[in-house]
């Protein structure tokens, strides 16, 4: 998540030129209106960039975590983990998601690695 946050901070800095240009071009309408225009233009552009940053399986693996699940492997009631998506694995549309306790999740990850699923 830290890597995703770092990319988001860089993205945030990319909005600075849009603000600067809009304030320069539309400054005669007042700072408030030029800033509003800059934010509208930025929103049109960066909605898609932010969506990619926060939903991309290419940046880092996406996990789902739930409290008090019944582990699909051992039947233990515990915090549940599920790998949702990563570079070559995508279960976002899975109609029956399987959550596992921490121990069983570690075993499942090991088997996924053996199958060639990329987790980094």
CA 97, CA 111: separation in Å to the nearest integer?
17
Tokens of 109: 């990850």
CA 59, CA 106: separation in Å to the nearest integer?
21
The domain spans of the chain are 2-55, 62-114
CA 27, CA 36: separation in Å to the nearest integer?
11
The DSSP symbol for 58 reads T
CA 47, CA 11: separation in Å to the nearest integer?
11
> Where residue 81 falls among pLDDT bands split at 50, 70, 90?
very high
Residues 21-71: pLDDT tens digits?
Answer: 988 998 888 889 998 999 899 899 989 888 887 777 666 677 889 999 999
Reference 100, options 84, 89, 115, 86; nearest CA is 84
> Where residue 119 falls among pLDDT bands split at 50, 70, 90?
low
Residue 10 has pLDDT above 80, yes or no: yes
Please check whether residue 118 is in contact with residue 86, taking contact to mean a CB–CB distance below 8 angstroms.
yes
Helix axes 31-55, 2-26, angle to 10 degrees: 160
Residue 97 has pLDDT above 90, yes or no: yes
Share of the chain above pLDDT 70, in %: 93
């Amino acid at each position: 998540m830290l890597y995703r946050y770092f990319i988001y901070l860089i993205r945030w800095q990319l909005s600075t030129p849009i603000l600067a240009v809009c304030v320069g071009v539309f400054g005669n309408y007042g700072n408030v209106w030029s800033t509003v225009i800059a934010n509208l233009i930025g929103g049109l552009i960066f909605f898609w960039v932010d969506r990619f940053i926060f939903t991309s399986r290419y940046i880092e693996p996406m996990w789902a975590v739930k409290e008090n699940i019944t582990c699909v492997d051992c039947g233990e009631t515990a915090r549940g983990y599920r790998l949702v998506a990563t570079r070559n694995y995508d279960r976002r549309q899975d109609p029956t998601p399987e959550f596992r306790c921490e121990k069983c999740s570690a075993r499942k990850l090991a088997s996924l690695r053996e199958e060639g699923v990329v987790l980094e």
